[in-house]
Amino acid sequence: MKKFWIFLKFEKSYLYMFIISNIVLGALFYTDPTISLKWQTFIYATTLNLLILAGFLLYRFQKNIQIVRQIDEEDHENLSFEGYYYQQHLEDLKKNQIRTINEIQFKQKEYHDFIISWFHEIKTPISVLSLMQQTEFDEKSLGEEIAKIEHYVDQALYYAKLENFHQDYEIVNCNVGRIVKEVVKNNSKAFIAKKIRLHLSLHSTVVQSDSKWLQFIVNQLISNSLKYTSNHGEIIISTEDTVKEKRLIIQDTGIGIDQQDLPRIFNRGFTGKNGRIFTKSTGMGLYLAQELSNKLGHYITCTSEENVFTKFVIHFPKNSDPYLETIKEIP
């Protein structure tokens, strides 16, 4: 019975139409002098109309109950224009919800895979340090292993901050040459250990960026060059200034990148042939560098020839406002 009263609440338009039509009809008979009104006939007609309305409402009620029971079925019937559009809206909401859940699950899986890979990576220098405690070790080796740990920890921290980037950035004028020299200084032991020659051709280049994040990006690219450049190799770092943009170029004489791998090197978790053969890799360094660059209004390109060279270029477009690009991502 409760369902029926709820049903009548939503069928008020039919009741109002019945009442108004009977009032209009009665008024017409009453005011027209040419019509001889017999109240018995009017009451009889009204009663018939009421029975027809009751039958119609009962039919509607039964139909509504039937549709409510079948509402989970894809091909269930709609009783109103409004119901049709509500159904479409609900279907869109379901699709968006499924899409959102899939995206969250995908991100959780990627984060889980990264953490597992990260644990495997960081175990190596920790194990080496443990062995050093038991044997004689030199200060140089100790420093190298600590530097590896710091590098992996930085990667994990920046990866964790990536989703909330807008809460931790400050756009300022950054001296690219100064940042490069600072990164080179931090990696000086690796340059010396592998006897890699360094050529700097840095003009006075100032860009708008976040100095901390930009330093991390440059460090990822230089570390990548150091990792894949053999002993006695060469790394050339230079800057260019064109009409449309400023560029930071990092080129090495390392093992290069396979042409099939080149389009995917900035993908999350991609290690490629080099990562599988020459050294263990989480495949996150270049991904983080590109993602952070994009958030700052910059972008990175790469060209390479296997066993000849690899060249990374950070592009700083002059018509791009990093601040505006970043706040667009704030929900």
Distance of CA 108 to the CA centre of its chain: 12
Q: What pLDDT, on the 0 to 100 scale, is given for residue 331? A: 46
Q: At what angle do helices 2-10 and 39-69 cross, to 10 degrees?
A: 110
Cα separation, 208 vs 174, in Å, equals 6
Q: What pLDDT, on the 0 to 100 scale, is given for residue 327? A: 47
Cα separation, 173 vs 165, in Å, equals 19
Using alpha carbons only, give the angle 59, 62, 67 rounded to the nearest 5 degrees.
Answer: 120
- Examine the pLDDT at 146 and tell me if it is beyond 60: yes
Cα dihedral sign for 180, 183, 188, 190?
A: negative
Q: Please name the residue that has the structure tokens 């495949």.
A: 283
Q: What pLDDT, on the 0 to 100 scale, is given for residue 330? A: 47
Instruction: State phi, psi for 200 to the nearest 5 degrees.
Output: -110, 130
Q: What pLDDT, on the 0 to 100 scale, is given for residue 176? A: 94
60-63's contacts with Cβ under 8 Å and 24+ in sequence apart are 60/7, 60/11, 60/14, 61/4, 61/7
How does the average pLDDT of the chain come out, rounded?
Answer: 78
Q: Token pair of 98, please?
A: 């499924």
Using alpha carbons only, give the angle 247, 215, 278 rounded to the nearest 5 degrees.
Answer: 90
Question: pLDDT tens for residues 40-52?
Answer: 776 777 788 788 8
Cα separation, 162 vs 159, in Å, equals 5
- Examine the pLDDT at 21 and tell me if it is beyond 60: yes
More reliable by pLDDT, 24 or 305: 305
Domains of the chain, each with CATH number or no CATH: 2-79 (no CATH), 98-327 (3.30.565.10)
Q: Please name the residue that has the structure tokens 């093992």.
A: 255
State the virtual CA torsion across 157, 160, 161, 163 in degrees, nearest 10.
Answer: 160
Cα separation, 46 vs 26, in Å, equals 10
- Examine the pLDDT at 280 and tell me if it is beyond 60: no
Q: Which of 43-52, 72-81, 147-156, 225-234 has the lowest mean pLDDT?
A: 72-81
More reliable by pLDDT, 39 or 16: 16
Cα separation, 43 vs 25, in Å, equals 11
Question: pLDDT tens for residues 73-122?
Answer: 655 566 665 666 666 777 788 888 888 888 888 777 777 666 766 676 67
Contact predicate 318/244, CB 8 Å: yes
